[in-house]
């Protein structure tokens, strides 16, 4: 049962992501500067991954 709920939730997230990409609607994290300051190593890794794609 958990797997069914998980897959349903994941499909909703993917559907919304596709919708935002098609509409060229970029969402941003309002706490990005705080995250960058408090977690610089993790932010750097995530930033590198985004740049590769």
Integer CA distances (angstroms), 1 to 4, 8, 16, 28, in order: 5, 11, 23, 33
Question: How do the pLDDT tens digits run along the chain, 53 residues long?
Answer: 999 999 999 999 999 989 988 988 877 778 888 999 999 999 999 889 888 86
| pTM > 0.85: yes or no | no
Annotate 23-53 with b (16+ C-beta within 10 A) or e (fewer).
Answer: eeeeeeeeeeeeeeeeeeeeeeeeeeeeeee
């Amino acid at each position: 049962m958990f797997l069914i709920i998980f897959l349903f939730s994941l499909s909703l997230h993917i559907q919304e992501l596709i919708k935002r990409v098609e509409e060229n609607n970029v969402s941003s994290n309002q706490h990005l500067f705080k995250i960058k300051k408090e977690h610089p190593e993790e932010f750097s890794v995530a930033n590198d991954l985004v740049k590769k794609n």
